[in-house]
Amino acid sequence: MKEIMAEQATTTSTGKRLPLWVMAVSFTGLLLFLALIAWGLRRNQAGPIAIGQKVPGFSLTTFDGQALKTADFSGKVLVINFWASWCQPCEQEAPALEQAWQVYKPEGQVVFLGVDYVDTEPQALAFMKKFGVSYPNGPDLRTIISQMFHTTGVPETYILDRQGKLAYVKKGPFLSVGELTSVVDELVK
């Protein structure tokens, strides 16, 4: 009985048998395809970057056309702030972020990057002008960067240490310059 079933499984509708190598290649291809799907699902469903983990590199094209790569800032503390012009809490923290940037800018050991989330360029530029934001900012085109960080809203701030590892996460606005500088100062030492 088993021999008849095996013979039927390897026979085409015209009664010809499939060569064993064709079945092996088909089976291998199917396994590779399933493995690729599993890898993609695992990657997409991975949780957010955890404190202490190395943050994957990314690039950001600023509103004034500069192409910035996180690799360009190796050895520096990196403050990445996700914001939007339509976000009221972002308005609360914008002055504190700019003041903190002015504190660290002269020494060049800390870099601020603003990542504008789901916004229009004219509104984003108006927001930056209103609050005097002078550190580099650019749009998160196709939400690639926010997906990498698994952001849940704005504002959110991620601070990387000098080795590019995630050191601190703030969901919600910084309410004062001191709140932000107390975190950054620990990393600059």
Residue 130 is part of a domain; what is its CATH number? 3.40.30.10
| Residues ≥6 apart with Cβ < 8 Å to 57 | 69, 70, 71, 164
Q: Is residue 145 part of a domain?
A: yes
User: For residue 123, what pLDDT is reported?
Assistant: 98
Do 80 and 30 lie in one domain? The reply is: no
Do 18 and 99 lie in one domain? The reply is: no
Q: Is residue 49 part of a domain?
A: no
For residue 184, what are its two tokens? 């950054």
Do 66 and 18 lie in one domain? The reply is: no
Q: Is residue 69 part of a domain?
A: yes
User: Domain count of the chain?
Assistant: 2
Do 104 and 173 lie in one domain? The reply is: yes
Do 63 and 40 lie in one domain? The reply is: no
Do 96 and 142 lie in one domain? The reply is: yes
CB 184 within 8 A of CB 96: no
Specify the DSSP element, H or E, that contains 170.
Answer: strand 166-171
The model's pLDDT over 84-105, given as tens digits with 9 standing for 90+, comes to: 999 999 999 999 999 999 999 9
The DSSP output letter for 52 is: T
The DSSP output letter for 75 is: T
Do 73 and 38 lie in one domain? The reply is: no
Do 65 and 132 lie in one domain? The reply is: yes
Query: % helix / strand / coil in the chain, to the nearest 5?
Result: 45, 20, 35
- State the chain's maximal CA–CA distance in angstroms: 83
The DSSP output letter for 64 is: T
DSSP 104-129: HTTTTSEEEEEEE-S--HHHHHHHHH
CB 126 within 8 A of CB 85: yes
User: For residue 163, what pLDDT is reported?
Assistant: 96
Average confidence (pLDDT) per 10 residues, the chain, 189 residues: 50 72 84 69 64 96 97 97 98 97 97 97 98 98 95 97 97 96 96
Q: Is residue 10 part of a domain?
A: yes
Q: Which domain holds residue 86?
A: 59-188
pTM for this predicted structure: 0.77
Q: Is residue 18 part of a domain?
A: yes
